[in-house]
Amino acid sequence: MAKTLCSLGILLFFCSLFLKSETSHFVYNGFNGSNIVLDGYARIKDKALKLTDRSKNVIGRAFYRSQIPMSGNSSPNAISFSTHFVFQIVPSDTNRGGYGFAFILSPSTQLSGDGGQFLGVVNPSNDGNSSNHLFMVEFDTVSGHNQKSDRYGNHIGININGLNSIYSESASYYNGLTQRKEDIDLEDENPIQAWIDYDGLAVNVTVAPFPTISKPIKPLLSLPINLSKVMKDFMFAGFSASTGKRASSHYILGWSFKLNGIADPLDVSQISAIPAEKSSSSQNKLKRALITTFSVVLFLLVLALISIFTYRKVMKFEVLEDWELDCPHRFQYKDLYVATKRFNESEIIGVGGFGTVYKGVLQATGAQVAVKKITSNDTLKGTREFAAEIESLGRLRHKNLVNLQGWCKYKRNLLLVYDYVPNGSLHSLLYSSMGTVLSWEQRFNIIKGVASGLLYLHEEWEKVVIHRDVKSSNVLIDRDMNARLGDFGLARLYDHGQNSHTTNVVGTIGYIAPELTRTGKASKGTDVFAYGILLLEIACGRAPVTYEPDRNAILVDRILDCIQTGNILNAVDSKLNSTYAIEEMELVLGLGLLCSHRKPESRPTMKEVIRYLNRDEILPVFDKLNSVGSKRADLIRSRFMALGLADDSIVTTSSIPSSSAGEMSTSSFEISGR
């Protein structure tokens, strides 16, 4: 038995050595049949790894398929590594290209990076986050990140977790004979070789023309750094490139990688430069000459065809208006018609005040989308609401907001195309009759997600966005149970430092701040009020207003009754079966009441809300509060009263004049004052 166990142990030991060797050492003198994961535009062409072509606004990524063990057992530092690769950048034949590419070590092959200057690695919301655990060396051909305008770049930089280089130099190399620094153009359409070496103490980056110059003795970049806190135990190695308004083809022609040693040299005889991508100007001249010649003969026929085509075009499509010019991708109506099975009722996933939402599958890509078809008896009103949502959501990008993919305006049909969010709305999950119960952990995560999205709208985007309809049915839950705030049909935008000029009352009963009924002016504070009601709804599992005769009609009244009787936790959703963190629950209930205070000046900002939720600051109700049973309850009640939260200071929906009810439903939309 002992011999058997010993033999099995030896076998496992050698297997682990084999697997580690396979994942920590590889050489590709061409990529046909290689063990590479491709993402986005990336593809294998003529033995080369082509990350992008000269199309605008594309992203291409490629990773070695297996994870690489990046931590050593005998040292706190990250394990050493070395990589050698040959690349070639072919710019547009009309001007300088863009935007370059990066070698990256990442804990995942699934990156949420944007194109252009972000190189497909990160986006504005996660750029620089320490949780990214990214190491990258960028070969940048257009500088401009965090600068006012793009300009000629041609530099190489070492980056940690984002696009800001901690060390960079203009692309160059040290001549082996003279040790003079020679410039090298990353976009001169000739292959260039690069070496990246890390010995556990410093990163060295070296470049040189390929294949005429061997590896220079002196590196271009040498940065003392400890990567053990950056890299996780297992990482993926690969490349990412992107284009934007400018475009280049980005190729990797050969690649070798090795842990704890020097990467093997590449076989020059097996690596070939990509032939120059010829301009088609001469072909275009020939085509124009042929067209001109034939047009003389076919003039009358062509004129007739143009007339017919123009007539049908005018009849089929409406003229683009000013607001349409800066909007995101415009879909063809026929594609959305097919995607939603002719807007079949079986595909309906939601119905709101301004339209019906259908699930769709785009034939071209197979991607699932949500298509909102706006309906309105007032065509002008519907068009304005449509424009409002495109203008706001169309340019917003945040992980806790619903992403608008594009739009379509066809005759009297107004359509918006979003990412498909599979788990539906928070409202449907809270009040599900299918036995589904959101856990407290999931609810608290949703609360923090909505707060993060509102903070972005109020403080972090280029303009202030007032959502004006924060409620549970407008919070969608994605595949990972994260919250994404959507439905921006009532949103208003204005510049930071200015006040909103909105003068009409809109929203949903139960979430409308009391000052709206007096002034009609929406503000950050009115969004905070609605967010506070949402907190109470999530914690208590009850709608803001109910119509059951044996229960308190107003949710806030129910909570205040519980405070008066000495235990605020009696208001908590019974479906949780007391399975929740008491301090978190008290925090959410107290914060919900504070956010829904009748006095706008007494409400916190969303920045303060985030600090309370992250425990960076203590909510005034709970400051210096011990955890002794009845004494704690008495202290909480007295502090609520001291803050004006446990008497008649909370103005609930029951105090709103009934004559205003019609003006405050989600169907009351007016564009004036935007």
Q: What is the DSSP letter of 321?
A: P
Q: Which of 389, 419, 449 is the last residue of a domain?
A: 419
Per-residue pLDDT at 147 exceeds 50: no
Based on the fold, state whether residues 484 and 589 are members of the same structural domain: yes
Per-residue pLDDT at 630 exceeds 80: no
Q: Which of 246, 268, 290 is the last residue of a domain?
A: 268
Least confident of 13-27, 61-75, 167-181: 13-27
% pLDDT > 90, the chain: 49
- What are residue 64's phi and psi, to 5 degrees? -65, 130
Per-residue pLDDT at 642 exceeds 70: no
pLDDT tens digits for 547-574?
766 555 789 888 888 888 878 899 999 9
Handedness of CA 559, 438, 459, 673 (dihedral sign): negative
C-alpha to C-alpha distance for 646 and 556, rounded to whole angstroms: 10
Based on the fold, state whether residues 243 and 347 are members of the same structural domain: no
Mean residue pLDDT of the chain comes to 81
Per-residue pLDDT at 161 exceeds 90: yes
SS3 392: helix
Banded pLDDT at 142 (limits 50, 70, 90) = confident
Based on the fold, state whether residues 232 and 337 are members of the same structural domain: no
Q: What is the DSSP letter of 584?
A: H
Based on the fold, state whether residues 409 and 448 are members of the same structural domain: no
Q: What share of the chain is helix, strand, coil (3-state, %, to 5)?
A: 30, 25, 45
* CA-closest candidate to residue 589, choices 444, 424, 414: 444
Dig out the tokens for 609 from the structure. Answer: 């809300």
Domain count, the chain: 3
Q: What is the DSSP letter of 165?
A: E
pLDDT at 664: 38
Out of 38-42, 74-78, 176-180, the most confident range is: 38-42
> Average pLDDT for residues 518-527, to the nearest whole number?
90
In a domain, 292, yes or no: no
pLDDT at 623: 62
% pLDDT > 70, the chain: 75
Around 386, how many Cα atoms within 13 Å sit in the side-chain half-sphere?
28
* Catalytic positions: 469
Per-residue pLDDT at 29 exceeds 90: yes
Banded pLDDT at 661 (limits 50, 70, 90) = very low
* CA-closest candidate to residue 236, choices 408, 99, 126, 81: 81
In a domain, 303, yes or no: no
Dig out the tokens for 448 from the structure. Answer: 């923090």
Q: Which of 355, 389, 419 is the last residue of a domain?
A: 419
Per-residue pLDDT at 86 exceeds 60: yes
Per-residue pLDDT at 379 exceeds 70: no
Which structural domain, as residue segments, surrounds residue 213? Answer: 22-268
pTM here? 0.51
Banded pLDDT at 4 (limits 50, 70, 90) = very low
Least confident of 88-97, 132-141, 476-485, 576-585: 88-97
> Average pLDDT for residues 608-619, to the nearest whole number?
94
Based on the fold, state whether residues 395 and 445 are members of the same structural domain: no
* CA-closest candidate to residue 533, choices 520, 518, 519, 543: 543
Based on the fold, state whether residues 515 and 385 are members of the same structural domain: no
Q: What is the DSSP letter of 526?
A: H
- Cβ count near 634 (within 10 Å): 12
pLDDT at 579: 94
pLDDT tens digits for 400-448?
999 888 888 877 778 889 889 999 899 999 998 777 899 999 999 999 9
pLDDT tens digits for 237-282?
999 999 988 889 999 999 999 999 999 999 988 998 887 665 444 4
Quick check: 595 and 608 in contact, CB under 8 A?
no
For residues 104, 107, 112 and 114, what is the CA-based torsion angle, rounded to 10 degrees? -10
CATH of the domain at 57: 2.60.120.200
SS3 437: coil
In a domain, 2, yes or no: no
Based on the fold, state whether residues 74 and 207 are members of the same structural domain: yes
* CA-closest candidate to residue 108, choices 21, 19, 232, 197: 232
Residues whose CB is less than 8 angstroms from the CB of residue 115 and which lie 6 or more positions away in sequence, other chains included: 57, 58, 59, 99, 242, 243, 244
Per-residue pLDDT at 621 exceeds 90: no
Based on the fold, state whether residues 508 and 389 are members of the same structural domain: no
pLDDT tens digits for 279-288?
444 444 555 6
Q: Is 373 annotated as a binding residue?
A: yes
C-alpha to C-alpha distance for 81 and 198, rounded to whole angstroms: 5
CATH of the domain at 348: 3.30.200.20
Per-residue pLDDT at 652 exceeds 50: no
